[in-house]
């Protein structure tokens, strides 16, 4: 028997290499009609991925689109606090129901289910992966134009579950200006390519601090390398989000919907073309 080279174009045998790559996708439930799903990913933690996800959801909601936010960062669920959501999500015999922000964004997160939102999540990967699938198939999302998924950081088991279980229309890669960004972006790009998920582009967070006196940008982390990393991977650098004390204060106060989301204007315009 000749060794398989995983090229099925000239082979008629039935084997695992010929399986439909979408066979693991979990379908939406009958009570949900989600048109587009955009994941926000990063090659490592600490780049402000949840901030990027929240601002994108706010911007899309302001654009008049019915918007939802699935918090798949199970071990670090910060989305509810940023939107001022502290009540428990409810469920019946058929579905779980998402919470809704002041502006009408539908949200589901582990912190809406636990009794104490500060309790640590000490779960194995398969349990976390199973919960993410439940958020997708057991929540009554209703009519949604754009769903944004705050993905877990890195390229491990849990992000893999999202890529395999949910049909993503594209991903946004969140990064910061440091020189390490080249490796971080490449990790996320390579994983997306391996999973055949389209990449919309890169968003740089914590890009600069605007001087309160003269308005000139101050590059806190030194010269940005994000544009270079994006170009190396043949991706557009869509937007740069500055360090903004007001943004941090609004997030801490649960009022992220009051923040200036126009900093992601180009990203939103690009997503609307998908």
Read off the pLDDT of residues 114-139 as tens digits, 9 standing for 90 and up: 888 788 888 888 898 899 999 999 99
Residue 222's pLDDT is what?
A: 82
Q: Against a cut of 0.85, is the pTM above it?
A: yes
Residue 24's pLDDT is what?
A: 85
Segments making up each domain of the chain, as ranges: 25-271
Residues 36, 274: contact at Cβ < 8 Å? yes
As a whole number of angstroms, the distance between CA 268 and CA 170 comes to 12
Residues 241, 221: contact at Cβ < 8 Å? no
Residue 183's pLDDT is what?
A: 85
As a whole number of angstroms, the distance between CA 201 and CA 162 comes to 19
As a whole number of angstroms, the distance between CA 92 and CA 120 comes to 26
Residues 263, 227: contact at Cβ < 8 Å? no
Instruction: Enter the DSSP assignment of 16.
Output: G
- For residue 109, give the nearest of 57, 186, 44 by alpha carbon: 57
**Over residues 45-54, mean pLDDT:** 91
As a whole number of angstroms, the distance between CA 36 and CA 251 comes to 26
- Kindly state the helix (H) or strand (E) to which residue 187 belongs, with its residue range: helix 181-194
Question: How sure is the predictor about 1, in pLDDT bands with cuts at 50, 70 and 90?
Answer: very low
Tokens of 209: 């601090």
**Over residues 149-164, mean pLDDT:** 86
- For residue 17, give the nearest of 26, 27, 7, 25 by alpha carbon: 7
Q: What CATH number belongs to 25-271?
A: 3.40.50.300
Cβ-based burial of 139 (10 A; exposed 0-12, middle 13-18, buried ≥19): buried
Residue 17's pLDDT is what?
A: 46
For the chain, the average pLDDT equals 88
Q: How many residues does the chain have?
A: 274
Tokens of 235: 């991706």
As a whole number of angstroms, the distance between CA 243 and CA 216 comes to 13
- The 3-state DSSP class for residue 237 equals strand
Q: Which range has highest mean pLDDT (54-63, 77-86, 151-160)?
A: 54-63
Query: Of residues 9 and 157, which shows the higher confidence score?
Result: 157
Query: Of residues 95 and 129, which shows the higher confidence score?
Result: 95
């Amino acid at each position: 028997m000749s060794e398989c080279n995983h090229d099925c174009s000239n082979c008629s045998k039935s084997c695992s290499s010929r399986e439909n790559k979408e066979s693991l996708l979990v379908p939406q439930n009958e009570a949900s009609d989600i048109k587009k799903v955009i994941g926000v990913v990063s090659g490592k933690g600490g780049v402000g991925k949840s901030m990027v996800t929240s601002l994108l959801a706010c911007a899309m909601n302001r654009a008049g689109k019915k918007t939802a936010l699935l918090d798949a960062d199970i071990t670090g669920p910060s989305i509810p606090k940023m939107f001022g959501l502290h009540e428990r999500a409810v469920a019946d015999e058929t579905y779980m129901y998402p919470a809704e922000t002041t502006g009408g964004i539908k949200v589901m997160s582990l912190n809406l289910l636990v009794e104490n939102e500060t309790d640590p999540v000490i779960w194995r990967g398969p349990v976390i992966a199973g919960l993410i699938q439940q958020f997708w198939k057991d929540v009554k999302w209703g009519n949604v134009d754009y769903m944004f998924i705050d993905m877990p950081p890195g390229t491990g088991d849990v992000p893999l579950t999202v890529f395999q279980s949910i049909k993503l229309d594209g991903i946004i890669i969140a990064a910061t200006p440091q020189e390490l960004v080249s490796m971080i972006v490449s990790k996320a790009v390579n994983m997306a390519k391996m999973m055949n998920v389209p990449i919309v582009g890169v968003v740089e967070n914590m890009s600069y601090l605007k001087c309160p006196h003269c308005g000139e940008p101050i590059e806190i982390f030194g010269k940005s390398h994000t544009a270079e990393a994006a170009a190396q991977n043949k991706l557009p650098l869509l937007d740069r989000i500055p360090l903004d004390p007001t943004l941090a204060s609004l997030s801490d106060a649960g009022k992220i919907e009051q923040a200036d989301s126009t900093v992601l204007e180009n990203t939103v315009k690009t997503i609307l073309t998908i």
